[in-house]
Amino acid sequence: MAVFAQTVLSSLQLCDCESVSAALFHCHTMSDCLPNEVITDILSRLPAKSLIRFRCVSKEWCSLISSPHFIATHLNRSLSNSQHPQCLFLSHYDNKPDYQDAIHTFVLYLDQEIEQKGDFFAHPSASIELRGIDQSIKYFLHLVGSSNGLLCLANMNFNKERGLCVLWNPSIQKAISLPEPNLQFCGSLNQSVGFGYEPVTDDYKLVRLVYRDTDFHAWGKIVPPLVEIYTLRTGIWRSITAPGPPYLMKMWSSSVFMNGAVHWPAQAPLRQGAFRNVIVSFNVKDEAFGEVGMPKSLQGRKDLEVIVTLVDGLLAFVHRERTLLRPYRNEFGNVIEAVWVMKEYGVAESWTKLFDVCIGRFDRVIGFTKSGEVLVRKAGSGGRLFSFGPSSRGYLDLPICGPEEIYLDTYVESLVLLNVADRVPGRQLRRGPRC
């Protein structure tokens, strides 16, 4: 049944009768007379919500909308649309008196009103809850990264009982749980993850590094981490047999995905207990590790805490260095913090300090707003957000209590995950003897 005939030129006679019914595309023949490519073009301009609804128009439309080609077409159009609002992903509690019963959900706030009302959170325009994931797993999820509208969330407790990651697309309100990873060990681990998109194979990858040797002080002999990769196309974790990168990362290191690679801050050991601060990269296409040099002045600094981030699509980091005020008491004095951006990727000389951050201590860098301000969560202020930069606005008040997990990114609508079968989490959580 050639429902969408490609016969524009042939028997088409326009109806020029006066009484046009509700049928916009009323044809004299019963078969549809709009070419397939015209239908596809129109549909690719629609928001995700409309497309999900239109899946039930007919079987042909349902299979068209779920097809990989259409999903890619829709995504390309979405990406080329210059309006990409920033949004906040955060988890919050639902004001329940009993901590155990608190609902821990991810919502997203769009900041369309920011220009008009000048306030990031005054009027949250949309919030989408993460559904379909076991409540107890949701509790420990934190955001690893996002690409093409797909968010990757990982369980911070990542051990044998709860080693689950989640891929979530808020545009279509669909989430899938990943199978448990291969690398499982008892006790808490030093591990880091990264998430990115590989365009050649049109695949999404999650890379996990696990350090078994937790002796952080033995700088001279870092045992490289074990590495495994999950790809959406295969749906499984695959261990990488080649030796891991010879760097040490802190537990749950911050990561950013840009230029086809995931980046984490790390330290490379030198001889005699010395070390060098670096940024480690993992190219998701070649699945190879590399290194991006840090500014020379910071390479040898001790006690440097680095959080990688993106400023206007460029690799950047916020660093903090504490000067010992009273060494015998282990008290720290001034905290020097600054934002650096790498203007030319891979060129160490192009590292440029944007500005010093002078707001006192903060415990989390959330990200950079479009106006070039850094959004941080200040330590000791009950989780309130603070923005700092050229047009500093001071404290921002979130209308939710204590966001545990907060993440800033640009929101892209997409249908990614639509054609992926729902995967049921492998097993129920059980109580029982550990390991």
Partner 1 sequence: MSSSKSNKIVKLESSDNKTFEVEEAVAVQSETLKNMVDDGCANDTIPLPNVNGKILEMVLGWCKKHVDETVTGDELNKYEADFLDLDQADLYGLLMAANFLNVKGLLDRVLQRVADMIKGKKPEEIRRIFNIKNDFTPEEEEEIRLENAWAFD
Stretch that binds partner 1, among 35-43, 133-141, 314-322, 326-334 (CB under 8 A): 35-43
Site string for partner 1, 55-74 (x = CB under 8 A): xxxxxxxx------------
3-state SS, one letter per residue, for the chain: CCCECCCCCCCCCCCCCCCCCCCCCCCCCCCECCCHHHHHHHHHCCCHHHHHHHCCCCHHHHHHHHCHHHHHHHHHHHHHCCCCCEEEEEEECCCCCCHHHCCCEEEEEECCCHHHHCCCCCCCCCCCCCCCCCHHHHCCEEEEEEECCEEEEEECCCCCCCCCEEEEECCCCEEEECCCCCCCCCCCCEEEEEEEEECCCCEEEEEEEEECCCCCCCHHHCCCCEEEEEECCCCCEEEECCCCCCCECCCCCCCEEECCEEEEEEEEECHHHCEEEEEEEEECCCCEEEEEECCHHHHCCCCEEEEEEEECCEEEEEEEEEEEEEHHHCEEEEEEEEEEEECCCCCHHHEEEEEECCCCCEEEEEEECCCCCEEEEECCCCCCEEEECCCCCEEECCCCCCCCEEEEEECCCCCCCCCCCCCCCCCCCCCCCCC
* 53 contributes a contact to partner 1 by CB under 8 A: yes
* 20 contributes a contact to partner 1 by CB under 8 A: yes
Candidates 6, 12, 135, 239; binder of partner 1 (CB under 8 A) is 12
Signed CA dihedral, 129, 135, 140, 144: sign only: negative
The least distance separating partner 1 from the CB of residue 415, rounded to whole angstroms, comes to 12
For partner 1, the closer of residues 46 and 338 by Cβ is: 46
Count of residues in contact with partner 1, rule CB under 8 A: 41
* 9 contributes a contact to partner 1 by CB under 8 A: yes
* 421 contributes a contact to partner 1 by CB under 8 A: no
For partner 1, the closer of residues 53 and 212 by Cβ is: 53
Stretch that binds partner 1, among 34-42, 87-95, 264-272, 308-316 (CB under 8 A): 34-42
* 41 contributes a contact to partner 1 by CB under 8 A: yes
The least distance separating partner 1 from the CB of residue 392, rounded to whole angstroms, comes to 37
For partner 1, the closer of residues 60 and 203 by Cβ is: 60
For partner 1, the closer of residues 175 and 310 by Cβ is: 175
* 244 contributes a contact to partner 1 by CB under 8 A: no
Stretch that binds partner 1, among 52-60, 194-202, 223-231, 374-382 (CB under 8 A): 52-60
The least distance separating partner 1 from the CB of residue 77, rounded to whole angstroms, comes to 10
Site string for partner 1, 136-175 (x = CB under 8 A): -------------------------------------x--
Candidates 2, 5, 13, 295; binder of partner 1 (CB under 8 A) is 13
The least distance separating partner 1 from the CB of residue 393, rounded to whole angstroms, comes to 34
Signed CA dihedral, 173, 422, 255, 188: sign only: positive
* 46 contributes a contact to partner 1 by CB under 8 A: yes
The least distance separating partner 1 from the CB of residue 245, rounded to whole angstroms, comes to 42
* 22 contributes a contact to partner 1 by CB under 8 A: yes
The least distance separating partner 1 from the CB of residue 73, rounded to whole angstroms, comes to 13
* 186 contributes a contact to partner 1 by CB under 8 A: no
How far, rounded to the nearest angstrom, does the alpha carbon of residue 208 sit from its chain's CA centroid? Answer: 15
Those residues with Cβ within 8 angstroms of residue 106's Cβ, 6 or more apart along the chain or in another chain? 89, 90, 91, 128, 129, 130, 141, 143, 151, 153, 168, 405
Stretch that binds partner 1, among 25-33, 151-159, 323-331, 425-433 (CB under 8 A): 25-33
The least distance separating partner 1 from the CB of residue 115, rounded to whole angstroms, comes to 22
Stretch that binds partner 1, among 8-16, 100-108, 191-199, 269-277 (CB under 8 A): 8-16
C-alpha–C-alpha distance, residues 68 and 166, integer Å? 21
Where do contacts with partner 1 occur on this chain (CB under 8 A)?
A: 3, 8-9, 12-16, 20, 22-27, 30, 32, 34-35, 38-39, 41-43, 45-47, 49-50, 52-62, 173
